[in-house]
């Protein structure tokens, strides 16, 4: 006798509308997209306030409106996000911080995600390490950036995992003269 697969939890009407929005996303529509997401949020049956804030932030971010996105992301993270949106919000906010030159904030925020946690990596993969490497590089710390990226990539290599891991560990930040 085989057991049936565990059913996936039903998606809320809010999540269904959000998924449809992102499937049809066309950045050439500009601020109309912000208005459309606001309408989805206003009719948000099954959405938490933090999820609504996150989705609004994501639209602003995707349109290059970082100054509008940042406070929405920060509020969404502060008010608590579901397990699926949380790592995405961290990566997206950190990337946005990097875009506006807030490198320390980007590096600090990305350091809060545990890349050994499958609940994180199943959603965002090693994207946090990639964005951390970019922020470290921009902050003038290219050796740390390389070490970070090699450490994240090493477990995905079918061969040479141990060697790449060891080489990454040997990388040290350059010493100031």
Give the per-residue pLDDT at 3.
40
Highest mean pLDDT among 13-27, 32-46, 131-145: 131-145
Residue 175 in any domain: the answer is no
Residue 108 in any domain: the answer is yes
Give the per-residue pLDDT at 174.
54
In this predicted model, which residue has the larger pLDDT, 47 or 50?
A: 50
Give the per-residue pLDDT at 11.
75
Q: Which residues contact 77 (CB under 8 A, 6 or more apart)?
A: 50, 86, 89, 90, 93
Q: What is the mean pLDDT of residues 56-71?
A: 96
Check residue 59 and give left, alpha or beta (phi > 0: left; psi -120 to 50: alpha).
Answer: alpha
Residue 43 in any domain: the answer is yes
Q: What is the mean pLDDT of residues 89-112?
A: 97
Neighbours of 177 (CB within 10 A): 3
Whether residue 131 has pLDDT greater than 60:
yes
Q: What is the CATH number of the domain that holds 148?
A: 1.25.40.10
Q: Determine the Cα–Cα distance for residues 5 and 109; give it in Å rounded to an integer.
A: 36
Give the per-residue pLDDT at 39.
92
What is the overall mean pLDDT for the chain?
Answer: 89
Whether residue 7 has pLDDT greater than 50:
no
Residue 127 in any domain: the answer is yes
| Token pair belonging to 66 | 């970082």
Residue 4 in any domain: the answer is no
Q: Could you give the percent of the chain with pLDDT greater than 70?
A: 90
Whether residue 116 has pLDDT greater than 60:
yes
Q: Which residues contact 133 (CB under 8 A, 6 or more apart)?
A: 145, 146, 148, 149
Q: Which residues contact 81 (CB under 8 A, 6 or more apart)?
A: 48, 50, 51, 54, 89
Q: Determine the Cα–Cα distance for residues 34 and 7; give it in Å rounded to an integer.
A: 33
Confidence of residue 8 (pLDDT cuts 50, 70, 90): very low
Buried b / exposed e across 112-144, counting CB within 10 Å, b at 16+?
A: ebebeeeebbebbebbbbbbbbbbbbbeebeeb
Instruction: State how many domains the chain has.
Output: 1
pLDDT tens string 137-158: 999 999 999 999 999 999 999 9
Residue 5 in any domain: the answer is no
Structural domain of 91 = 17-170
Helices (H), the chain: 13-23, 31-42, 49-62, 66-79, 85-99, 103-110, 118-124, 127-138, 142-153, 161-170
Residue 1 in any domain: the answer is no
């Amino acid at each position: 006798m085989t057991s049936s697969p565990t059913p996936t939890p039903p998606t809320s009407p809010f999540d269904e509308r959000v998924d449809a929005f992102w499937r049809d996303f066309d950045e050439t529509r500009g601020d109309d997209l912000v208005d459309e997401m606001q309408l989805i949020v206003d009719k948000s049956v099954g959405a938490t306030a933090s999820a609504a804030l996150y989705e609004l932030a994501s639209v602003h971010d995707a349109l290059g409106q970082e100054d509008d996105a940042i406070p929405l992301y920060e509020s969404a993270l502060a008010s608590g996000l579901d397990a699926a949106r949380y790592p995405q919000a961290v990566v997206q906010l950190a990337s946005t911080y990097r875009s506006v030159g807030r490198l320390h904030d980007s590096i600090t925020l990305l350091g809060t995600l545990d890349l050994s946690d499958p609940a994180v990596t199943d959603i965002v993969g090693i994207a946090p390490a990639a964005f951390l490497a970019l922020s470290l590089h921009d902050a003038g710390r290219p050796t740390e950036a390389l070490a970070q990226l090699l450490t994240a990539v090493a477990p995905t290599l079918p061969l040479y995992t141990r060697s790449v891991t060891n080489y990454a560990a040997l990388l040290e930040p350059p010493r100031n003269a």
